[in-house]
Structure 1
């Protein structure tokens, strides 16, 4: 059995707001710490049947990039949901909503 570790490091200011966020993985091709401006992490607690979340972004995360980050996260959640459940119809609905979200937020769709 193989084990991999993902490590997230958050440097906080005096008010406990994130200044910098980096992540690294033992399974990555390099051992470099990768700087990021935002992250969303969701974990499923099987015992309590609920999700646990960790949403962080640095103080200097631009609003336009945050909008794009949300849009792309919603899109990839659809990919993950389709892969995990095979529920094509609801994923198509999510894609429709993502297009609506992009339109309302003036995000260029790729």
Structure 2
């Protein structure tokens, strides 16, 4: 059985606000810690049937990048749900609604450039 480890390192200021976030993977090509400005981590607790989350961002994370991060995370969640649900017809229908919302979000947050 193959195992991989993902390591997150968070440096906090005196008020416990993240100054820096770095991550590294034992399975990756790059063997040094890489910087990140924000992270969303969600885990499913099978026993309690709920999600456990960690949402962190550094104090110097620009708002325009945070908007883009949220947009891309929403899009990725849709992609993941499509893969996880297989051919479920209800899931396929709902994904269309999520894509529509992502388009609306991107427009309101001015995350993507408008097509002419």
Say yes or no: TM over 0.5.
yes
Partner of 1:97: 101
Whether 1:75 aligns to 2:79 is no
Matches for 1:1-110 after TM superposition, within 5 Å? 1-86=1-86, 87-108=91-112
Deviation (angstroms), 1:109: 5.4
Deviation (angstroms), 1:42: 0.3
Cα RMSD of the aligned pairs, angstroms, is 1.2
Unaligned runs of 5+ in 1: none
Alpha-carbon distance in structure 2 between the residues aligned to 1:102 and 1:6:
30
TM-score by length of 1: 0.97
Deviation (angstroms), 1:82: 0.4
Q: Secondary structure at 2:16's aligned position in 1?
A: coil
Q: Secondary structure at 1:21's aligned position in 2?
A: strand
The structure 1 segments of at least 4 consecutive aligned residues displaced by more than 6 Å after TM superposition are none
